[in-house]
Chain A
């Protein structure tokens, strides 16, 4: 046991703990809800998690650099509405649409990034401001209209049902594949790419990062651009998932994304976290939400109350485990 503890990095111990919690949770709900362990339920949770995963990925990149992006919810809403409206006039086709979402999101992210990096304004202040500003843009632009997929090209409404491949009664939806692809790209980049490792350097010790010649301003700037682009992808998911978009689109995504990545073991004070953790955290939170929704024993009104408690418990368990593991390792080293 001890030798095992020596070999496994604390970061991975945390992921293992998280996976165990997820499995226990699924087993528990399997005893409570009929037909829980079915491909249908799996699809439901996967598509729900796919909606939130891109935003969580972007949030994680920013949080690793010791910042936070609270504007993502408003950005998702604005982009979903704006692009939905555009698609009503011009049919760009799926690929160009996604690219447009990413680029537009990146441009908005650049606004945040410029203010944080080059304006030296703390990220919580900047994004608290742009949270309000982007939402106001949406309300201004929408003129309190609601747009529906009826006015858009047919592929938009069909997109969520699109499957990449089907195994038996399980099919991997296109949206899920897209979200996983994004996680995979950023996961590999974060662990392999030198330029992506700079995110960790800046987050764990900004002064040391500057001393060792890293342009920390540029790194933070790009983290915000990428977060904006991922919010763009989130906006695309939102558009295709929900047929009608109102001014309330994406409300609260910022809080949800922060809780997901924190559950996934990304340190809120920067410097550590992994993409696998972000995926696990997102899946855990969405499994909880979807399962609580379908749990007959409790009314739907209990869902948020339980969710809040469970998030805090998950983080507390994580804190405890990491602390005691580190202590055990330290003892062994002595």
Chain B
């Protein structure tokens, strides 16, 4: 157990407890169950997408189009509802649209060989464009009450559907990532895609599966966003990709792939939400909150690096022979 606090997840847990304690000290009502649920529902869509983004980034790719897929799904839903469709059918179609969007991304990335940063950047513009085409500058509301209640009305105990979905997805995706062969493949691909291919991993197939999942989950999150606001517009979920990626990277997932854990991502989601919630209770406006999270993101990588530097500096005598023999590249780790 002692070793746990030296890991990234342990550090995140300490930060989380510190944030929650600070919040509770400043604002007494912070620790009530209702406030914690409220805080969670406010950004639940981002948290849900962050879970699958963990897969994408561990496989050493990126999906910048998630927020646009969220917007697209929400807009498809809006236009189907205003066209008089059955809401359940409309939801099914939206999820299918998400899957198609994911498959579309995967096609360019795995078969054509376009870097994912470029392909999903283009579709960040493209999918958002399609969302705008559907609704132009109309706003659509008048969804059924049960739909609007998905992010609000208690379903299991005090938890609304959106939080239940988050927990279910977390359990499934966490299990698959850490305890199944599929999860191992994701890590192997992220570590070294060439090696994975030579050792018989069907990298294209695994990546396609990840992107399709990413599309479906983003679409589901887009629908929850529409439910929470009880309305959709062409700019639904605009700019969410940055927050989602921040949550994943802060969780200790390496941007170069191959490293990370679901536990870290969940802790970082909780930290980000608690920080935002605490700052809102202290009347700090949204943009300052985002800046604080930006600083936190940079520090999360910078501080451990600097610590390493300090450690190397103070253990220099033992370091010297290794350095003379070494390449002179990155400092050798002193254990």
Contacts and interface: CB of A to CB of B under 8 A. Distances in A.
Interface of A: 68, 115, 119-122, 124-126, 128-133, 135-137, 139-140, 207, 210-211, 255, 258-259, 262, 268-269, 299, 301-309, 311-312, 315-316, 319-320, 323
Interface string B113-149: 1110111011111111110110010000000000000
Given A262-B118, A311-B125, A126 B298 contact: yes
B180 interface: no
B256 interface: yes
A308 B329 contact: no
Given A126-B298, A128-B242, A268 B136 contact: no
Contact of A301 (B123, B132, B287, B328): B132
Contact of A128 (B112, B125, B297, B329): B297
Contacts, number: 138
Contacts of A129: 294-295, 297-298
Instruction: List the 9 closest A-B pairs by CB distance, nearest first.
Output: A308-B126, A305-B129, A304-B129, A136-B291, A132-B294, A129-B294, A308-B125, A129-B298, A312-B122
A119 B299 CA distance: 10
A268 B290 contact: no
Chain B interface size range: 35 or more
A69 B118 CA distance: 14
Contacts of B128: 304, 308
A302 B301 contact: no
A124 B124 contact: no
A125 B305 CA distance: 14
B249 interface: yes
A210 B255 contact: no
Nearest to A318: B114
B14 interface: no
B242 A305 contact: no
B114 A307 contact: no
A103 to B, nearest CB: 24
A136 B114 CA distance: 33
A8 B130 CA distance: 40
Contacts of B114: 312, 315-316, 319
B125 A316 contact: no
Nearest to B112: A316
Nearest to B133: A301
Nearest to B132: A301
Contacts of A135: 287, 290-291
A200 to B, nearest CB: 18
Secondary structure call for the B interface = helix
Contacts of A133: 291, 294-295
B125 A259 contact: yes
B327 interface: yes
Contacts of B121: 255, 258-259, 262, 311
Contact of A140 (B130, B288, B301): B288
Given A132-B291, A269-B115, A311-B126, 10 more contacts: A121-B301, A125-B298, A128-B297, A130-B298, A131-B242, A135-B290, A302-B129, A307-B125, A308-B124, A311-B121
Q: Which of B122, B302, B328 has most A Cβ within 10 Å?
A: B122
B246 interface: yes
Contacts of B94: none
A139 B119 CA distance: 31
Contacts of B255: 122, 124-125
A308 to B, nearest CB: 2
B132 A305 contact: yes
Contacts of A304: 125-126, 128-129, 132
Contact of B297 (A120, A125, A299): A125
A319 B287 contact: no
Nearest to A138: B287
A319 B126 CA distance: 20
A135 B288 CA distance: 9
B14 to A, nearest CB: 21
Contacts of B246: 128
A258 B117 CA distance: 9
Contacts of A132: 242, 290-291, 293-294
Given A125-B301, A207-B329, A299-B136, A308 B129 contact: yes
